[in-house]
A and B are shown apart, each in its own frame.
Chain A
Amino acid sequence: MKLKLRIWRQANADTQGRFQDYNLDHVSADSSFLEMLDLLNEQLIQAGEEPVAFDHDCREGICGMCGVVINGLAHGPARGLTACQLHMRHYKEGDTITIEPWRAAAFPLIKDLVVDRSAFDRIIQAGGYVSVSTGSAPDANAIPIPKKNADLAMDAAACIGCGACVAACPNGSAMLFTAAKVSHLGQLPQGQVERHNRVAAMVRQMDAEGFGGCTNHGECSAVCPKLIPLDVIGQMNRDLIRAVLSR
């Protein structure tokens, strides 16, 4: 199929970016969205131009490295899919596709569609773990965990840290990302000891990174490729209140 692409090009954070139009032909409906970008880049290189920089790695929807806004939607139109898993059969001959980077104050742009998401790592570093050093663990079956809690923990732990939630939020908030980790560890007995300190420290870091607050739009969960439920934010808020009150 033939497509019109409008892609954000920006050499680096210090220069002005702009949309650039491209016509792309011979796109297979069976190719993935990123394979479509590969095709464009191969042609750009052949034509002596610089290819479009975009982050990607596993191309199977689990590493969280890829992520672009496609026609206004983070990761594109398919629910529960990352951009790498989106296939071109979602599009038809002659479509125009606009492709932009994640836009958020806490995700500074590096080049074209590549942004710096290291703020997410710093939120986890602030407390998104159980403090258990190697070698100090009891037998794995020593503490039974109800299947329901294990399943809920897994639902939240499925987050891939791609940043779509931030890109989709009108406030550029990282609440869904942060709450997913708080909820994952909060569901498990192993996570109880540090539960209150964890949530307080992670939220503090989230604010320090310049992410916005949550005003219940729900866009984050709607675009989440792993369908992390909005409930986790409520759980985090409850934990946060308890953490503040227990001081």
Chain B
Amino acid sequence: MSPRTTPWNLDDLHTTAAPLDGRVPAGPIESIWDQHRFHMKLINPANRRKFTIIIVGSGLAGASAAASLGEMGYNVHNFCYQDSPRRAHSVAAQGGINAAKNYRNDGDSIYRLFYDTVKGGDYRSREGNVYRLAQVSNAIIDQCVAQGVPFAREYGGLLDNRSFGGAQVSRTFYARGQTGQQLLLGAYQALARQIHAGSVQMHTRSELLDVVIADGRARGIVTRDMRTGEIQTWAADAVVLATGGYSNAFYLSTNAKGCNVTAAWRAYKRGAYFANPCFTQIHPTCIPPAGEHQSKLTLMSESLRNDGRIWVPRQAGDSRKPHEIPEAERYYYLEEKYPSFGNLVPRDVASRNAKMVVDAGHGVGELRNGVYLDFADAIRRLGEDVIRDRYGNLFDMYESITGENAYKAPMRIYPALHYTMGGLWVDYNLMSNIDGLFVIGEANFSDHGANRLGASALMQGLADGYFVLPYTLGNYLAQAGKSSVDSSHPAFAEVSSEVQDKITRLLAIKGRRTVDEFHRDLGKILWEYCGMGRTAAGLQKALTLIPQLRAEFWEDVRVPGSAADLNQSLEKAGRVADFFEMGELLCLDALHRSESCGGHFREESQTPDGEALRDDAHFSFVSAWQHTGDDALPMLHKEPLEFKYVKLSQRSYK
């Protein structure tokens, strides 16, 4: 089969008539989760070990789910591509985790966290899911403290909080600048306990290469042992994907190098719907690229925006050093445009404004590709020691990367791809449209709508893994029963032979260009046409360029080495092949959604002030795409979004 080089014919787009049902139970929002749990079918503790559950990924969602299900007595298999589950990319989250504890007595509540999250997501998430997320947020903090997560504390010994990413209450718990690491280690240790107890079998350096579905139910997975190259099949009664997001489609992102879309994409190609792929988050405070050698981008926690002031020279093209530019000639563009939120506007607003000033020639640094984040005022007000205490590790990190001392000169920052709100479609129970295939954490689309608020990713990953999936998965298994299929079913042989064929094919091309070269080129297309500002013409161009480049990839890529060995080029090639397909769907979704909302900014749809302008009359729905064949346009299913509690409004941070 030769890959398609021509763009899809968009006139063929077919939308199914029947609305997709998110299966949120009816009732008052405060009680639906309790009621739902009450109505769930249970599995007797003694019978749980008869059920085998596969969990792919060991980040916050995967590790917490594996540990919790192991504790409950299920027979769990957990897979990760790293050499240890402790390395999953959740480890890199810096800022914090939200919860509605109201320990500050500043008016926070479950309802307010729910409301803020729906609003922050620009009204493109499901109310029922978000309410549940806010509800379980408090139990997450309790659980983590009990595990020994060393959250920051006050002198009285109680937990400290800070305000984060546009929130007007202090609801963020943190562990220095390493909150993700500490939460992950908490989950990892809980997982380690279950591995020791024998309830979880851990498979490290194992990469999922495909999902096996037979008779409408997820039956297992096919993996590659990254040390030996062995292709293995695993059957289970349910499969859980906790495989993270797809920011690395853009090549340069804040994700770890190994993060990939393969699990979600293979599931999509086998029938799972992919929802809202165009909802990508670009984080405003990352270190700008230093040149072509750049392999990834590093995020500086946005907590820095609490004390740092963002500015550029008022005069475009001004090449003076920052300290030579007098106050009057500095353009504090966020403070001027958004007096009430200032530097703390949500991520999408901060990112877009940085792009605007850089595009208009105000960029700073040698490559003129950044804006300043300046701590001089805060240091004057609070002293260098206080700033060091709050952000010392971030300043150190900045210095080790750039060679610049941010206590003396302002940091340079620029937005970068950071998180993807889109993902596999799931219902209220976190199950995809495929029976027995569950998706949790960043890999699903469920809770963040079109934009994720700061400190909400850790909350969602752990909510799904500790407090939602353990219930909903049990409920599913209690009703569906054990899978009647083991790995001797022909579907397993069929899928593993397809996996083998793909590997053989990649190794046989022996072309002229490396995988990284292709990946970088794909990333440039996506960043240019499907990044912070998107237009119909640009997206159409991307939809023409991607199939061409993809065809070149399949003709001209060079993957050295063998299949029966540790082969990092081969690993990358498989992931990039999937990014090539996924990137096209990303652009299609962005083109189809001609409104702006949250992180998806269509330049055609903006307010006179340049803010994202939603089109609720036409786009108040989740776009769930169904694969219909390699050459055919995917089919669109729409899940209507209804807002009974949150009042839709144009977001304004003036």
Contact = CB atoms under 8 A, between A and B. Distances in A.
A55 B83 contact: yes
- Scoring B148, B188, B401 by chain A CB atoms within 10 A of each residue's CB, the highest score goes to B148
Contacts of B324: none
Interface residues of A, number: 82
Interface stretch (B135-143, B326-334, B352-360): B135-143
Contacts of A161: 84, 86-87
Contacts of B71: 133-134
B185 interface: yes
Given A34-B295, A51-B569, A190 B156 contact: no
A150 B565 CA distance: 44
Nearest to A26: B293
Interface string A160-190: 1100000000000000000000001101101
Contacts of A146: 153, 157
A153 B178 contact: no
Contacts of B151: 140, 150
Interface stretch (B190-198, B374-382, B636-644): B190-198
A53 B178 CA distance: 28
B192 A129 contact: yes
A32 interface: yes
Contacts of B561: 50-51
A20 interface: no
B89 A63 contact: yes
Interface string A19-63: 000000000101110110011001011101111010111111111
B291 A28 contact: yes
Nearest to B196: A125
A85 B185 CA distance: 21
B256 A63 contact: yes
B516 interface: yes
Interface string A134-160: 111111110111110011011001101
A62 B159 contact: no
A215 interface: no
Contact of B258 (A57, A116, A147, A160): A57
Contacts of B516: 38, 42
A127 B512 CA distance: 50
Interface in B125-174: 139, 141-148, 150-159
Interface string B551-564: 00000001011000
A110 interface: yes
Contact of A130 (B139, B148, B293, B565): B148
B99 to A, nearest CB: 8
Interface string B170-183: 00000110101110
B594 interface: no
B142 A118 contact: no
Contacts of A188: 148, 150
29 contacts: A30-B403, A32-B295, A32-B401, A42-B516, A42-B517, A50-B561, A60-B299, A85-B400, A111-B565, A114-B566, A118-B84, A124-B188, A125-B196, A129-B147, A129-B193, A130-B148, A134-B190, A134-B467, A134-B470, A135-B139, A135-B466, A139-B142, A140-B144, A146-B153, A150-B153, A151-B150, A153-B148, A158-B181, A185-B148
Interface of B: 64, 67-68, 71, 82-89, 91-92, 101, 103, 139, 141-148, 150-159, 175-176, 178, 180-182, 185, 188-190, 192-193, 195-196, 202, 204, 227, 254, 256-258, 290-291, 293-296, 298-299, 396-397, 400-403, 466-467, 470, 512, 514, 516-517, 558, 560-561, 565-566, 568-569
The 4 A-B pairs of least Cβ separation, nearest first, read A144-B157, A129-B189, A137-B146, A30-B290
